[in-house]
Chain A
Amino acid sequence: MSFKIYVPRDSAAVALGADEVAAALLAQAQQRGLEMDLVRNSSRGLFWLEPLVEVQTPAGRVAYGPVTAEDVTGLLDAQFHTGADHRLKQGLVDEIPYLKQQERLTFARMGVTDPLSLADYEAHAGFAGLRRALTLDASVVVQQVLDSGLRGRGGAAFPAGIKWKTVAAAQAAQKYVVCNADEGDSGTYSDRMTLEGDPFMLIEGMTIAAIATGATQGYVYIRSEYPHAVATMREAIDKATAAGFLGADILQSGKTFHLEVRKAAGAYVCGEETAMLESMEGKRGVVRAKPPIPALQGLFGQPTVINNVITLASVPIILARGADFYKHYGVGRSHGTLPFQLTGNVKRGGLIEKAFGVTLRQLMFDFGGGSASGRPIKAVQVGGPLGAYVPECYWDLPLDYEAYAAVGITVGHGGIVVHDDTADLSRLARYAMEFCAIESCGKCTPCRIGSTRGVEVMDRLKNGDHQAEVLLRDLCDTMLHGSLCALGGMTSNPVLSALNYYPQDFGLAASVAKVV
């Protein structure tokens, strides 16, 4: 009898030896005369257990992890392929509390299916949203997205439906849908996991966006640091096109949508949507002044929907299950779920999809189990390199765009980077300023020059010149108010939060601390 086994192909599992585990399993099964059906699934996002190997048993899938190639002999000796006991056994995968306590909508298939199998995708509710969208009037599709309350997941949290409505109403011979898969923020990988682990979901979401707005050409702009994502996405597009889900006559509907991958080239600022458009047009990724907004004059001057991977990937379930189903999740004006990415110095780092309203403390301790080093957690950076360092007094705040904004924190793309008490916040703040200096597109002075001066001023402060604090605050203020885009504008977030909440790291007395 053949046994079915799953070994993830997600980059993070591969980086921990998943390919070697798969090879060892195949070789040993053959040696032992065991018939094995090996599926390369995507990752469940439980990275402290990766590579997480699952075996199909009558009771459900049983998980073993973290598995190395050296463990394979012992696992087979113990008959793990029947679900037998072993020191790496984690029990039924669906019963692992870390997973069970999540609310997986967009990540429901993650780790379950073979990412490049169309049959698997359809067997797990795939293309239900697209099929429904094809039965509706385009304006109804837009209305569904509006009613769902879905806001952009790439950072600015702008309502997706309003953007779509603008593009739909624009008159033009050619419109585009562009997916922003630049994901440059440290501490984020949910876009990467989607591109590698459930690419048809993104294709489906983009196709729905195209139908809703009248676009016939789409691009996925993927960062060059993600070669596996680029390859998987290209393969998925070819398969979807061959099967009639993309191309000239989508599912015999008469609708057309062509999709292509464009590889970025390692500039952080190209995640900013107008810089991304410049880059796609073959130019330097310099930010454009708005207006005109890309919804009216975007790629090659034409009306363009630009959304983040997770925004677009959230659309199929909204169409399939209805706007109300999605809107019901969340708190306040933050509807739906967010795949939070718990990273850095934490025991159980991983992807946690939860409705808005969960707290940092729940994520870091209930899910994450506290710091990896066993030392106290000192600071948490939320929302990428331009996000604030969040001190403990805010760890019980519900994660909600408005509640966070009220105390000067950005939720951003949902990246959470944990630092223990060995972290030097003055060094991290300097890093943020230097990052801005290196990645500045150069268009405006506060960002281009200010960030370089900022690094110098911080060095003076570090060397005991306390007057430099005033200068630094002044400079941050200028960058905040004088920059054209959020790269220069938001660098003050990490810098000022470090200065305000951790003044001792700058050699300043705690009493000097000005809490904003």
Chain B
Amino acid sequence: MLTETTRQTVQHLVAAQKHVPGALLPILHDIQDALGYIPAQALGNIAQALNLSRAEVHGVVSFYHFFRHEPAAAQVVQICRAEACQSMGAEALWAHACSRLQTQGGTSADGAVTLEPVYCLGLCSSSPAMVVDDKLHARVDADKFDRLVAAAGSAA
């Protein structure tokens, strides 16, 4: 069940955009911006407002990699694993991150960090690249990774 405030947030965001042509994606973005994920319980509200079936909305949410089905940890680390970053050691960086954060990708066992792959951040000339809590970093090696994650962790 959604809390009353969450339900109201969803309803408010849906109402704000429902008349926009092709409203579903903008609405889903607004919900994720506000809540950090798209709660399964919100799908019904969205479907009703847009005159769609719940299955259709679910089909859309699950099609796109960007939408989260559950909240991320307080700290989110994304590492680019696409070709240009691979050519400069992104796979070793990913392996290092996995062992440091004790996860194979996804949220770590202690729930502190969510580690995710991304496929190109447009920083390919200064690879490898990553994102820590919405901040971009380029030319990342294992040392820089440790520094950035420690700094972000202590700030949180």
Contact = CB atoms under 8 A, between A and B. Distances in A.
Pairing of A with B: yes
Contacts of B29: 224, 263, 265
Contacts of B67: 265-266
B60 A284 contact: yes
Quick one: which of A187, A264, A266, A350 has the most chain B CB within 10 A?
A187
A178 to B, nearest CB: 11
A11 to B, nearest CB: 6
Given A265-B28, A265-B66, A284-B63, A186 B126 contact: no
A145 B122 CA distance: 29
Interface string B44-74: 0000001000000001100111110000000
Contacts of A372: 88
B127 A344 contact: yes
B83 A417 contact: yes
A263 B26 CA distance: 7
Nearest to B23: A282
Interface stretch (A77-85, A204-212, A418-426, A508-516): A418-426
Contact of A282 (B60, B82, B83): B60
A262 B22 contact: yes
Interface in B59-100: 59-60, 63-67, 82-88
Contacts of B129: 15
A227 B134 contact: yes
Interface of B: 21-26, 28-29, 50, 59-60, 63-67, 82-88, 118-127, 129, 134, 136-139
Nearest to B138: A15
Contact of B126 (A264, A349, A418): A349
A224 B25 CA distance: 11
Contact of B25 (A185, A280, A342, A350): A280
A139 B125 CA distance: 41
Contact of A11 (B22, B82, B87, B122): B122
Interface residues of A, number: 56
Contact of B136 (A15, A267, A282): A15
B125 A267 contact: no
A415 B124 contact: yes
Interface string A252-291: 0000000000111111100000000001111111000000
A337 interface: no
Contacts of A263: 25-26, 29
B120 A186 contact: yes
A420 B84 CA distance: 11
Interface of A: 11-12, 14-16, 47-48, 50, 183-189, 192, 224-227, 262-268, 279-285, 300, 341-346, 349-351, 372, 381, 385, 415, 417-420, 423, 428, 431, 435
Contact of A342 (B63, B64, B82, B125): B125
Given A15-B123, A268-B119, A417 B136 contact: no
A226 B22 CA distance: 21
Given A282-B25, A343-B84, 4 more contacts: A12-B123, A183-B122, A266-B67, A435-B119
B25 A184 contact: no
A420 B86 CA distance: 11
Nearest to A186: B82
Contacts of A280: 22, 25
A225 B121 contact: yes
Contact of B125 (A264, A268, A343, A420): A343
Contacts of B137: 15
Contacts of B134: 227
Contacts of B139: 16
